[in-house]
Structure 1
Amino acid sequence: MNVLQGIAAALTPLGLIWTAILLSVATFLHELAHYALARAQGVPVRSFSVGMGPVLLRRMWRGTEWRLSLLPIGGYVEIEGMAPEEGPGGQMRAPTQGFAALPALGKIAVLLAGPLMNLLLALGLMTMLFASQGMPAPDRARIESVNPGSRAEALGLRAGDVITAIDGRDIPDTLQRGGQTQAGWESLRLVLNEAGPHVFTVQRPGPAGVTTRQVRFDWQPTVNGARQLLGIRYGPDVQPVSVPAAFAASVSNTAEAVPQVLRAFGTLFGRFLTLDISRDENVSGPIGTAEIVSRAAALSPWALVQVAIMLNLSLAFFNLIPIPGLDGGRILLVLLGALKGRPLTFAQEQAINFAGFAFVMLLMLFVVVRDVSRFF
């Protein structure tokens, strides 16, 4: 009962609703892209389901049965020629029509459409976020608040002031700390750990424009064993950007995220193979995802947009992993068939797909178990 109470405390009804909405939209657009590329090449699509499990509503339209299913945890599209079909003797055989009859490039286009749709959705949401909310400048620290009666107030610092240089040196774009690359504005924390005289170059916006001044002070990080506080809360300086600049930054951020995501998935596979269920902040299961969405829903709509961006990027990259059963695995089989000059045999493809599907299911079960284990 304590485990269930812990899970219930981590989630909120609003968070669960938003989790279902975000996952359903991401999955719907993913499957819609598969559908559109198949239909564009003349391949029939038998059914398209929003959600999984028992069908609640169904309607035929343009040769496809559109379904609304009970569980809002994804969806699926049945494209003719992608699954084995029943032969005259009741035996399952390789399909010969529809998707199976497409050339290699046509098959890859259908398979690649889903992950690309999630990637484009993430880029679109990121561009909207940057264009409307601005972009953080890593080489500038903005003071968000000043504690009353603090040393910072005595120095004349105010909320809205922007620190552009420290001790005569510009704040770097990035800095290396603990083996990791971090934003340069965080170097302010390092400076406040150093005793001695310091100088902040501070810009202050006002009705007459931006004024710049030097703030000089002597600093002792500790006095009689007690840690001293300057009395400010600060973060990166957020600056407005144009839509083209926001899009360029979105592409750049996505490219920079690729190695991080690959490392996270690599760590997940390593822990899966060694059955290490210790918590990993970089990869979340369904409960962890719902918990993140619950926290975001309590903050602001823009926090939900950030979560939607990460969900779509994760779906895009995960589906491109060359594991049979995923889009990336199917693309790999198509490429292998093209290199051989003929498709894999039905038995070979079925065996590979079954092994890949089993691996993905076990991996998902592992993620769920690891998700729940932290509540014990």
Structure 2
Amino acid sequence: MSILQSIGAALTPVGLLWTLLIIGVATFLHELAHYALAKRQGVPVKSFSVGMGPVLLRRAWRGTEWRISLLPIGGYVEIEGMAPEEGPGGTYRQPTRGFAALPAWGKVAVLLAGPLMNLVLAIGLMTANFSAQGIPALDRVRIESVREGSRAQSLGLRPGDVVTALNGRDIAETITVSGQTRPGWESLRDLLTTPGRKTLTVERGGAAQEVTFDWRPRVNGARQLLGIGYGPDVQPASVPTAFVTSLQTTAEAVPQILRAFGNLFARFFTLDLSRDENVTGPIGTAEVVSQAARVSPWALVQVAILLNLSLAFFNLIPIPGLDGGRIMLVLVGALRGRPLSLAQEQVINVAGFALVMLLMVFVVVRDVSRFF
């Protein structure tokens, strides 16, 4: 099978459409937030494009040219005073109007609006997901399925049973195995990696009972399976509770996201093309969305949450060319008492843009290398 056939087998047309829609909405709202904060402060916005590349459709409205462009990969807003002004004789000079004339806090507000919009969207979607689907209880394991003829079936385990303790010990909220922290509900897997007598405390219909059995992980060299599908138990939640849990979940996710980006840059500078489950490229993203589309609409919502969180924090990385890099330049100018010169800004922005482009190429190459 060729590489293109392998990639095609991993994706589906529906998955690709959902990928474009999820990324398109996230990008549109990101740019819309930049637009709104600029207009709020009286700064003209020359154009607003959904998509990149050649313009397919355009229409002027409220002083802005609204565009639909050919390539459905992102978008942009052209805010007056962010790019150099053309001077006499084809030369360029430092802008003095629009965005350039704003105080430092006004510039930061415009630049920060996009990432904050993605963060707000992620929290909103998370709140909707928790209030509709319930909040995972990481200290309780719900048995979702029992395989026909399995050891679990012979022990009397049923779908809907909730395991609250393993060998008399409550399932911890988190466990650490080989230096990796995992949800406590995954500790059932670790319990079955060692032989001996096992006891599961099972809650069914409000009553607790113990299921005891002897276990051998391997028999005649073959790996034994208990025969259950399981995941964290889910507790119903009101909208306020779901919102508070969303804020807590977002705060807990920040260190993990930052570590993932740090690992990405480490791999980039060492040209390490090995697979990393924490950061994926466009093909990997479309593959995940394709899989989610087969599961349920709420699985797509969860992908959209992760994507918006990633966009929010990635754009805040202080690399020139990203919102975080622009904010850094504004703050440097405020500390100096005057903005950087046009030549200085151009050198920094070109270097930052080149780094971002190289990083994107690296992610795509690593994404494709999985199929070799």
Give TM-score scaled by structure 1 length.
0.94
**Partner deviation per Cα, 1:300-347 (whole Å, 9 max, x = no partner):** 111111111111111111110000011000000000001011111111
Structure 2 counterpart of 1:80: 80
Shift of 1:88: 2.2
Q: Write the letter of the residue equivalent to 2:28.
A: F
**2:124 corresponding residue in structure 1:** 124
Correspondence list, 1:71-220, <5 A = 71-205=71-205, 210-220=206-216
Residue 68 of structure 2 aligns to a residue in which SS?
Answer: strand
Partner of residue 304, structure 1: 300
| Alignment-mate amino acid for residue 105 of structure 1 | W
1:89 aligns to what SS in structure 2? Answer: helix
Aligned residue for 1:248? 244
Which residue of structure 1 aligns with residue 326 of structure 2? Answer: 330
Q: Distance in 2 between matches of 1:66 and 1:225?
A: 66
* Partner SS state of residue 291, structure 1: helix
- What value does the CA root-mean-square deviation take over the aligned residues? 1.6
> 1:227 and 1:371 mapped to 2: Cα distance?
32
CA distance 1:328–1:167, shift in 2 (3 Å): same
- Equivalent residue letter for 1:313: L
Code of the residue aligned with 2:74 in structure 1: it is G
Gaps of 5+ in 2: none
Paired residue total: 372
Q: Distance in 2 between matches of 1:147 and 1:274?
A: 45
> Hey, what does 2:234 align to over in structure 1?
238
1-side partners of 2:301 and 2:331: how far apart?
Answer: 36
Hey, what does 1:22 align to over in structure 2? 22
Q: Does structure 1 residue 360 correspond to structure 2 residue 356?
A: yes
3-state SS of paired residue (1:72): strand
Change (3 A) 1:349 1:154: same
State the TM-score, normalized to the length of structure 2: 0.95
Residue identity in the other structure for 1:202:
V
CA distance in 2 between partners of 1:277 and 1:152 (Å): 41
Partner SS, residue 258 of structure 1: helix
- For structure 1, the residue ranges without an aligned partner over 5 or more in a row are none
Residue aligned with 2:275, SS: coil
Separation of aligned partners in 2, 1:330 and 1:123:
25
Aligned to 2:89, what secondary structure does the other structure show?
A: coil
Identity %: 75
Change (3 A) 1:47 1:278: same
CA distance in 2: counterparts of 1:360 and 1:58, whole angstroms: 29
Q: 1:223 to 1:348 in 2, by over 3 A?
A: closer
Which letter maps to 2:11? Answer: L
Aligned-residue offset at 1:269: 1.4
Q: Against the structure 1 CA distance between its residues 16 and 153, is the aligned structure 2 distance closer, same or farther, given a 3 Å change threshold? A: closer
**Cα 1:203/1:26, change in 2 over 3 Å:** same
Provide the C-alpha distance between the structure 2 equivalents of 1:275 and 1:229, rounded to a whole number of angstroms. 39
Distance change (3 Å), C-alpha of 1:150 and 1:364: closer
Q: How far has the Cα of 1:353 moved from its partner?
A: 0.8
1:64–1:224 CA distance, 2 compared to 1 (3 A): closer
Aligned to 1:348: 344
Q: Which amino acid aligns with 2:280?
A: S
